[in-house]
Structures are given as structure tokens and as C-alpha cells.
A and B are shown apart, each in its own frame.
Chain A
């Protein structure tokens, strides 16, 4: 049961990380989006949707040419999930070897 628990827990943790950061979180709030935009979704803000000063982007939050939140989006939804996937593969490779032994 020790190996079984390892498989289930590693899989659960990896799936949650990928689902939240890569699949859901990055596509939903783009990682603390409101912090960088100084805005929350209120009806008043939506009325101002077509206004001029609704989006106040903080300066100096760029990483490698990307705004920080976008850098994080790419990191999580692409590079991040690739790395998480590779780590999961390595753990499962080792588990498979133990199962065969």
C-alpha cells in the first residue's frame, strides 16, 4: 500500500498543480491579476468598461519583456506544466520499476 499511496498522492498533487495553475488559475485570474491592475470586478467598474482610465497598469513589472502576470501565465500553462509533467513521469518510472521488481 505504500507504493499505492505514493502513486495516488503524487498524481493528486501534480494534477491539482496543473489544473489550478496551468488549466484554471492562469486562464481565470492570470495570477493575482487584480493586484497588477488595481481593479476588482464591480458593476461600477464594468460600467466604466469603455472609459479611458479603468485600467491602471503598474509600471516596472516586466520579466524578460513580459508583464509579470503574463510571464507567469506562460510559465504555468506551458513551461510549468511541462516540468510538472516531466517530474510526474520520473516518479512513475521509478514506481513502475519497483512494481516490476
Chain B
């Protein structure tokens, strides 16, 4: 897609309105922040509806507008699989972790891991893992805001990155978690409105009978999709382990991504944590099916409209191309404003967790004598510095949005997701096991990203002993997630078993997280869970090495 030669005034005005309202909300919310607990977890006062809406905006980053549609057009069925699994993963997060984390009373994922396993070293290690996954996730989104400004509004990309970055840094720094939460709620409403309505208009113009509700319109377009791309829905073009990798990355990655988990520390109680997730998953599914509809509409549009010849590079902007061509500039302005809101919301959540990680988990642990008032002041400063660092990093990020985010899911799943799940459901998990699993799991994911994505090596040639040749096929690198997560589980369980059990006071936390007023040794201590996980992991590693000759290389 060629950048606009002139400034798109209406789009720019709406985008600026979104930015200004975001700052105003934070200025308003600042009055609620009186101490460190208010700043990081909004005084644990957020209700289910508010938290559910805020989580939606975290989930629907700029990839919703840029990236996913391209993946649907190019990626055959696997693109839908990624988002189907991502939608369901929220319920996995709820069932395995959300209410239990809320009862633990930590501020962050890193604090939870440190306190549950009684180890300062684990806190430092998890801060490092958090920084890696957050930067991967964040830079792509901020870069995306710059691209929206450049291609759609006619404003230089650098201006977009700097303005968007400064606005979000300003409102996160000023408003803390209260500001972030209310902003994310506002941005979800903007995003839903600005995506659903323009897409509905596009579907109506294309003559779909279910246009008024995009998921139905998407159903209408499936037969056309099959006639244009006959192999689209044939899932078996990929080795099944690819889908298992998507499942592992989604389900455990979402538990490991600290900016999602941090939302559960802000709610009033475990019940609110549960119901906020149900609200979130319903809305995330609604938006994802709307984006599928957009992808299908794009294929239909390209196949049926004379004179439309788009390059693959333009697929990233198909939402906007479709809206401009079939709905008009007014709707395009709305879609652009929605995409800016989507980018801001994700960036704000990530900035928040990075600031909290550095001050609360790193500085606070090294200097426990520092009082909360000083930590609060330092938090303002840290948040601002992190924001500036990310703006500078985003000017030339190593990777753009969706791929980087998928890698960060894999690393988070192995490095943080596994320790959280086992810490909640198996008392016998100890710091030695978690240390081994976290280091090896996250290193497998991180080295995979460095070699395949950053250095551009062919996945089947990377020096992963024995397994590399099985990373073949379209998006074969996703299978690295299987290695990272299974090795993390295996090492955590085996090393925990081979080393002394954790002290009773740490095991007691497990019962407390599950809401029991008393302690019972037998609860969450059976051998069934770890043995089942080990069997499944070993099976998955074996399965990855099978069917080598069946699927395309």
C-alpha cells in the first residue's frame, strides 16, 4: 500500500481525540492514587465488568487491525487456528490461574513466583524473562502506531511513534493502574465500535445477508472462500504438532504474559476475577470472528472486483483498504481511530508491568528498607524512562507485530506460564525445579527467536540438537514452542522430585490460594498430575518426530 500523499484530516482529528481523551482520563484517575498499591493494582478495587473490558483491549492489540487479516489471506487455515486457540485460552487462564492469583495478594507475576517458591533469584530471573517478552510484544505495537500514522494519516512514521509513545507514557505515568484500567475500558469501547460498524458496512456492500452481525456475515462468505481458495479449510496441510504448539503457546503463554496476569491483581476478589474473564472471552471471540469476516471479505473483494491488484505487502492494511473502498472515508476515519486505540491499550499494559517489574520487583527487593512513598516517586520516574526507552527501541524494532508477539507467547509460556500453573496446582513444585525449567524453557524460546527471526536462519538448519529438522513447513518455527514448554514442564517436575520439598509455609500458600481456611497435606499433592503431565510431554516430543515424510517441507 502506498502511503497517503496528503494528511487525512478526519482520521487525524479522530485519532487526536482518542489520544486527548486518554490523557484526560489519566489526569482524572490520578486523584485515586494515594499509595503504591493504588499505583500498581488500582487498590484492588476494579469490578468484573471494568476489568473484563480492560482485558479485551489488552488482548486485541494492533494486530487485530494490522497483521491478522494478512495472515488470514496468506496463511490458509492456520491463521484462524491461532486466533481460535487464543480466544479459548482465556478460559484456560481463568480455570488454571486467575482467581488463585488474585487470592495470593501479589502485585505482579514476578512477585508471585518469588513468594510462592521462596526465592529471590527466581524473582530476578522472572524479571528478565518478563522484560524480554514485554519488549518483543511492545515494540511491534508501538511501531504499528507509527505505521498507521504514516500510511493512513499521511504523517511521518517517526512522528507517530514518538507522539503515540509519549501520550501512552504520559497517561501511564500519571494515572498508574487506575488510569490504565479506565483508559483500557474506554479503548475497548472505541475499538469495538470502530471495528464492528465499518466491517458491517463493508459486508453489506458486498451483499452478505448476515452483514448486521459480522460473525454471521463471515459464515455467509465461507462458501465463496472455498470456491476461491479450495484448500483453505484443510487443516491437515500442517503436521498436527503445529496446532499443538499453537495450543501450548496460547494457553500457557497467556498465563505467562505478565500484563494479562496483572489485571487479576487489580480486581476486588476471586469471584470478580472469574467473571471478568468470561466477559472478556465473549468479546474477544466476537472481535476475532469479525476479523475473520474481514479477511474473507478481502479475498472476495480481490477476486471479484475488476482492476484490484494488491501486493502481499498491502494485505496488512486490508481492513482499511476495504473500508475506504466499500464504506467511505468517514468509516475509514473511525477504523483508523480504533486502531490507534488498540495500539495504545496494549502498550499501556506492557509499560505498566515493565515499570512495576523494575521498581517493585527489582529495586524493591534489592533495597527493602526504602519506604513506599519513595518507591511511588521512583515508580513515576521508572515508568517515564521505560516509556522513553521503548519509543527509541520502536524506531527500529527487530520484527513487526504478529510474529514477534507469537514468539513472546512461546517464551512466556515456558518461562513464566509453567511455574505459575505448577505453583498453583502442585505443592511439591520447588524453587530448584522452577529455576531449571524457567531457564531452559525460556532459553529455548529466546534462542529460537534470535536464530530464526532475528538472524533469519532457516528453522531446519538451526543448531537445535535432534529436533531442528522437524521444524519444517509453513510457519514451522511455531513448533519451537512445543520444545520450550515440554522441556520446561519436564525439568520443573523431575528436578522438583529429585530435590527436597518446599517448606510447609510455602506449601500452605497453595491451600490459601484455593480459598481453604485450613491446611491439609493431601490437597494438591497427588502424583497423578505431575505423572500425567510428564507422559503427555514425552508423547508430544516423540510425536513431533513422526510423520516426517507426510507433510510438505
Cβ A1 vs Cβ B522 within 8 A: yes
Choice from B226, B236, B251, B281 contacting A33 with Cβ under 8 Å: B236
Interface bits A63-82 vs B (CB < 8 Å: 1, else 0) = 01111011101101111011
Assembly CA distance A4 to B243 (angstroms): 33
Interface residues of A in 1-53 (CB under 8 A from B): 1, 4, 7, 11, 14-15, 18-19, 21-24, 26-30, 33-34, 37, 39-43, 46, 49, 52
Assembly CA distance A57 to B226 (angstroms): 9
Given contacts A7-B514, A46-B551, A86-B278, contact A19 B92 (CB under 8 A): yes
Cβ A85 vs Cβ B250 within 8 A: no
Cβ B87 vs Cβ A42 within 8 A: no
Cβ A30 vs Cβ B235 within 8 A: yes
Instruction: Tell me the minimal C-beta distance from A61 to chain B in angstroms.
Output: 11
Cβ A55 vs Cβ B231 within 8 A: yes
Interface residues of B in 238-262 (CB under 8 A from A): 240, 243-244, 246-247, 250-251
Residue of B nearest to A53 (CB): B230
Cβ A55 vs Cβ B243 within 8 A: no
Given contacts A85-B277, A88-B95, contact A78 B81 (CB under 8 A): no
B439 at the A interface (CB under 8 A): no
Instruction: Tell me the minimal C-beta distance from A23 to chain B in angstroms.
Output: 4
Contacts of A46 in B (CB 8 A): 237, 550-552
Given contacts A23-B247, A85-B278, contact A74 B523 (CB under 8 A): no
Assembly CA distance A82 to B280 (angstroms): 9
Residue of B nearest to A64 (CB): B219
- For chain B, the count of residues having a C-beta within 8 Å of the partner chain is 62
- For chain A, the count of residues having a C-beta within 8 Å of the partner chain is 57
Contacts of A84 in B (CB 8 A): 91
Assembly CA distance A99 to B278 (angstroms): 22
Choice from A14, A65, A82 contacting B285 with Cβ under 8 Å: A82
Assembly CA distance A89 to B48 (angstroms): 12
Assembly CA distance A39 to B231 (angstroms): 11
Residue of A nearest to B84 (CB): A77
Contacts of B96 in A (CB 8 A): 11, 15
Q: Pull 19 A–B residue pairs with CB atoms less than 8 Å apart, ordered by A.
A: A4-B520, A4-B523, A11-B95, A15-B95, A19-B247, A26-B88, A28-B247, A29-B236, A33-B236, A57-B226, A78-B84, A78-B281, A78-B282, A78-B289, A81-B87, A85-B95, A85-B281, A89-B271, A92-B99
User: 8 closest Cβ contacts across the A-B interface?
Assistant: A22-B88, A78-B285, A27-B81, A66-B219, A77-B84, A28-B243, A65-B219, A41-B236
Known: A27-B246, A29-B236, A85-B94. 8 other contacts (CB 8 A): A23-B251, A37-B234, A46-B552, A64-B216, A69-B233, A81-B88, A85-B278, A89-B94
